[in-house]
Amino acid sequence: MRRLIITLIALGLLVSVFPGCAAEKQPPAYPRIIVDDLGRNVTIPEKPARIISLYPSFTETLFALGAGEKVVGVTKYCDYPPEASQKEQVGGVTTVDLEKVVTLNPDLILVDARLQKELVNGLENFGLTVVALYPKNLEEIIENIRLIGKVTGYEQEAQKLTADIEKRVKFITDRTKRLADSERPRVFYLVWYDPLKTMGPGSLVDELLQFAGGQNIAADAKEEVAAYSFEMVVHRNPQVIILAGGSMMSITVDELKALEQWQVIDAVKQDRVYMIDAALIAGARPRIVDGLEMITKCLHPEL
């Protein structure tokens, strides 16, 4: 027994002197290598302390993760949350002031892979770390939130946020997937009034309408953002009309319902014309799930 006790004491001393022997050594948190939405391998050398976001939805995601204090630059369109508009502005989405960006000395820049692809090489020529993102559907939005969490060091916050989004989406889709086609109302999403424009196949709006238990009357359009004649609207006769609310919409719900030619449409007859903030529906941001919930309330208030 005495020999056993001596042995245990000796082992304890070894563990205290050489703690690495007691547990497997953990790999360093940084550098991290990720693949962005342009298919580029991007190395994040250390946890970013000065971040510039050149797209509103990425700015919103950073604040939602708790990384707002690390943001040193945004575009003039980054207005959510309100604190974002207090950050240094470096121009618009397509009119970025590169000199100002460099002056802010960022160690991470988030750009939109579709609208700002040409900026990537210019920024990298200054030795800056650039991650390009372009989520096209709800699944990719969730993946991008996790990716932003990974590159910024807010992985746990990203996991918590995306788990909440997935839970809320599942709550809706578990109910709407049981609906028969006859229970899925025909929907016209109006993104522009004069001329009429809507969102077609492949768009985030089209996906959200399906998740919410609706049928997009423009699901067979030839373009993602599609011109749509009033005659076609009358022919498809939507049971619900949703207006994309915001500064781009030039007509209100009451004004549209008051137009004589629109009163032949079921949605107007049944007073099922709504307006939803376009930022909640068309933007690749955490609040997209709020938009999905609002659409579902419009289509299926009983759910």
Please write the tens of the pLDDT for every residue from 113-129.
Answer: 999 999 999 999 999 99
Mean pLDDT over 277-285 rounds to 88
Residue 27: inside a domain: no
Ranges of beta strands (E only) in 74-224 are: 108-112, 130-133, 186-190, 197-199, 215-216
Q: Which domain does 193 fall in, by range?
A: 179-299
The answer to whether position 163 is within a domain reads no
Provide the 8-state DSSP code for 191.
Answer: S
d(CA 158, CA 151): 11
Q: What's the CATH code of the domain at 100?
A: 3.40.50.1980
- Please report whether residue 271 resides in a domain: yes
Same domain, 117 and 217: no
Residue 86 within any structural domain of the chain: yes
Average pLDDT across the chain, whole number: 91
d(CA 207, CA 201): 8
Q: What's the confidence (pLDDT) of residue 284?
A: 85
Percent of residues, the chain, with pLDDT higher than 70: 91
Average pLDDT in the 154-177 region? 97
Residue-level length of the chain: 303
pLDDT digits 0-9 by tens, 195-247: 999 999 999 999 999 999 999 999 999 999 999 999 999 999 999 999 999 87
Mean pLDDT across the stretch 273-283? Answer: 91
User: Does 21 reside within a domain?
Assistant: no
Categorize the per-residue pLDDT at 27 as very low, low, confident or very high, splitting at 50, 70 and 90: low
- d(C-alpha 54, C-alpha 118), whole Å: 13
Band (pLDDT 50/70/90 cuts) for residue 110 is: very high
Does residue 9 register a pLDDT over 50?
Answer: no
Hunting for tokens 């309330």 — which residue is that?
297
Nearest-angstrom CA–CA distance, 176 and 52: 39
Angle CA 285–283–145, to nearest 5: 25
